[in-house]
Structure 1
């Protein structure tokens, strides 16, 4: 796991999430999205990453950490999204909703709200 304060778990990306990620990267923000997939075939995950997740990383298909992440971050269903602190604890549990509601208009402002929560 990177040392970024933002690890986003188990979220099926949409154009809004890709735009959110891209705008934050372009603004120089330290964000990483980690896809935790429940795909049934390795090729499905590879195809999805290639077509929809530019720049994102993923837990490898079939990796035992997938089950650990889903349990640790209390992800019973997908899609779900968590913002994590540097120590791996949850900063924002409902990040998917926040990105959909606030992040579409001003991704940088939402990210800075999350950063302020760390202070």
Structure 2
């Protein structure tokens, strides 16, 4: 093979891909839009350039799914996924859509959403100021600890309705919550509440590892069945 000819062809193709970038409308999950050209995707952030040359940065998790997929494609147009990798990638995208790229633990440390991979997930809508929540949370902690002890693939994401960040973490510490949480004030909270019809708290929604709804009555299952509820969710 003529190496020079091959390299010339590759560079021509790469140049064609780069030149294909154009100004388009990018949409966030909150519904806001921006007209800009794709520049790069780096560390979970999409870099864009507007017509007047201004740089804009948007976390990929804040974009609608179509735009996230386009950013992935534009950032690496030559990448291909195996048949085995595709389902896992799709499940990860769904988790990013639901929760964003990062969660928090009880020590306020950042934890990648990838920690949820392969697990049944409980989305726990609760708050420090809510008496019924404070009555149910210790029960849920025992439930979570039992499943962890038994090696069950289960995790909880706490979605706080507290009015202040300090109250959220005080609640997590006081109740010794062993699970993860959506960052305080994160935009995904409203989307989750709407998606799962949250009209009151506490509410425990159970989804499978692919993000499919199992039940919106996880609280009732935990209260009535204890650790056996997990087997019914699988």
Q: Please tell me the TM-score bracket, short chain as reference.
A: 0.7 to 0.9
Flag structure 2 segments of 5+ consecutive residues without an equivalent. Answer: 1-112, 127-132
Flag structure 1 segments of 5+ consecutive residues without an equivalent. Answer: none
Quote the Cα distance in structure 1 between the aligned partners of 2:120 and 2:194: 20
Q: Is 2:161 the counterpart of 1:38? A: yes
Deviations 1:53-110 (A, max 9, x none): 432111111111111111111111111111102221210121101111111xxx1x22
Residue 15 of structure 1 and its aligned partner are, at CA, apart by 2.1
Question: How do residues 1-119 of structure 1 correspond to structure 2 at under 5 angstroms?
Answer: 1=113, 2-3=116-117, 4-11=119-126, 12=133, 13-103=136-226, 107=227, 109-115=228-234
Structure 1 runs (4+) deviating above 4 angstroms are none
SS at structure 2 position matched to 1:62: coil
| Residues paired across the two proteins, number | 111
Under a length normalisation based on structure 2, what TM-score does the superposition of the two structures give? 0.45
Under a length normalisation based on structure 1, what TM-score does the superposition of the two structures give? 0.85
Quote the Cα distance in structure 2 between the aligned partners of 1:55 and 1:16: 13
Q: Tell me: higher relative CO, structure 1 or 2? Use CA pairs within 8 A at least 6 residues apart.
A: 1
SS at structure 2 position matched to 1:36: strand
SS at structure 1 position matched to 2:120: coil
SS at structure 2 position matched to 1:10: strand
SS at structure 2 position matched to 1:9: strand
Check 1:39–1:18 CA distance in 2 against 1; reply closer, same or farther (3 A cut).
same
Name the structure with the higher strand share. 2
Instruction: Identify the range of structure 1 (18-27 vs 72-81) with the bigger mean alpha-carbon deviation.
Output: 72-81
SS at structure 1 position matched to 2:203: coil
> Which structure has the larger Rg over C-alpha atoms?
2
* Backbone CA RMSD of aligned residues: 1.4
